[in-house]
Amino acid sequence: MNPREEPDWRLFRGDGVPRHVEMPPAPPWRRFGGGEQAAPGGNRTPSASGRPAPYLIEPEHADVVNAALHLRRPLLVTGSPGTGKSSLARAIAHEMDLGEVLRWPVNSRSTVQDALYRYDAIGRLRETALTRDRGEAEPDIGSFVRLGPLGTALVPGERPRVLLVDELDKGDVDLPNDLLTVFEEGEFEIPELARLPEEQSVVDVLTERAGERATVRRGRLVCEEFPVVVITSNGERDFPPAFLRRCVRLELPTPDESRLRAIVTAHLGDDALEDVDQLLDAFLRRRAARELATDQLLNAVFLRAGGMDVTADGLLEAVLHRLGGAV
């Protein structure tokens, strides 16, 4: 390449000159659209080859997962950012062939009722008025009840479903205790359906999954197989003893150098390990002084593999930036 030419990886040059630029392939974990190239949050996290990337876990940690599966108890997974807490739910679902992961991302406004179901009373009133004006039958109430991720996970079935309760420590302080009854009884009531007359005691409602319906009898939904519940926490809040007693706890360790190399290989292939020593040393050095996540290293290695000079001024700092504190 002519020394005066701009490197090929510079898609944006900041000179105000319009160009037709072909976008390079995205990282495997940032490809959307379903199928084998499912994005994070789907059932599979692909590798560079397009096949699902293996989830790397130590045997003693896998044994803790198995304990939760046998006991039908929620698995409370803690650890530093980037240690694979959320990915564990997808790994379990993929390896046990349990279908798509149901995900409940918790925030400060999250409630157990919203995770169980939502009832669109206003929409039902509007549709009822319109159908009456047209002389048609009133719409079925089931079309205005949609189960949330937790409610969908409890839908009766021969095989359990996998539910990821992501970052429970971001929720209200009472949220863990509010979950206890549902986790202990494996059922819940929908009062709007429980009040219906006997001739309407069986109602098909919408679920979290598009195009799927579930049957609710007399306003109660009771699971047959308790779902595989994976709860993640970044350790930002202590949970009440009553909640902890009902969970199986798994602490994922921060990956060491050999594990980091294995993770890079799993996601980006053996070729990605070429000339990675400098990046890995920089990552380990920065991680010792401040909080960094494993996926930040993957980002840096992916850019390096694509020909990008990640050691350029400010670029490494932008990719391996600290996760805590003011921005």
Q: Which residues pair with 249 in a beta bridge?
A: 76
Strands (E), the chain: 75-78, 102-105, 117-119, 145-147, 162-166, 187-189, 202-206, 213-217, 220-222, 228-233, 248-251
What's 31's DSSP letter? -
Instruction: Render pLDDT for 165-179 as a digit per residue (tens, 0 to 9).
Output: 999 999 999 999 999
pLDDT tens, position by position, 80-99 = 877 889 999 999 999 999 99
Closest CA to 214 of 138, 161, 137: 161
CA pair distance 273, 260, nearest whole angstrom:
10
State the pLDDT at residue 158.
Answer: 86
The pLDDT of 254-272, averaged and rounded, is: 86
Quote the pLDDT of residue 2.
47
Average pLDDT for 215-221: 94
What pLDDT is recorded for position 179?
A: 94
Chain centre distance of CA 145: 24
> Could you give the CA distance from residue 282 to residue 279 in angstroms, rounded to a whole number?
5
**Position 207 confidence tier, pLDDT thresholds 50, 70, 90:** very high
Rounded to whole angstroms, the Cα distance separating 75 from 85 reads: 11
- Greater confidence (295 vs 107) lies with 107
Distances (CA, A) of 12 to 54, 173, 183, 194, 309: 34, 45, 51, 59, 14
Token pair of 118 as six digits = 């939502």
pLDDT of residue 29: 78
- Burial class for 291, CB neighbours closer than 10 Å (0-12, 13-18, 19+): middle
pLDDT at site 160: 95
Residue 3 has pLDDT above 70, yes or no: no
pLDDT at residue 95, rounded to an integer? 94
pTM above 0.75, yes or no: yes
pLDDT band at 54 (very low <50, low <70, confident <90, very high): confident
Residue 66 tokens read as 């198995």
What pLDDT sits at residue 1? 43
pLDDT given for residue 309 in this prediction: 75
Interatomic CA distance for residues 241 and 102, integer angstroms? 26
Residue 274 has pLDDT above 60, yes or no: yes
- The residue-averaged pLDDT of 102-125 equals 94
Listing DSSP states for 151-170 in one string gives HHHTS--SSPPEEEEETGGG
Question: Which tops the pLDDT comparison, 325 or 145?
Answer: 145
Q: Please tell me the predicted confidence (pLDDT) of residue 316.
A: 74
Cα 18 from Cα 82, distance rounded (Å) = 38
Residue from 183, 185, 180, 203 nearest 193 by CA: 203
Higher pLDDT, 26 or 5: 26
Question: Which of the two residues, 165 and 310, has the higher pLDDT score?
Answer: 165
- Span 229-255, mean pLDDT? 92
Average pLDDT, the chain: 85
Query: How many CA atoms within 13 Å lie on the side-chain side of 170?
Result: 13
- pLDDT for 324 beyond 90: no
Contacts of residue 127, defined as CB under 8 A and 6 or more positions apart, other chains included, come to 139, 144
Q: 38 pLDDT exceeds 70?
A: no
Summarize the confidence of residues 214-234 as an average pLDDT. 94
Write out pLDDT tens, residues 279-288.
888 888 888 7
Of the candidate ranges 56-65, 196-205, 267-276, 304-313, the one whose mean pLDDT is the lowest: 304-313
The residue-averaged pLDDT of 57-67 equals 95
Nearest to 223 by CA among 63, 88, 102, 77: 102
Nearest Cα neighbor of 103 from 119, 85, 122 is: 85
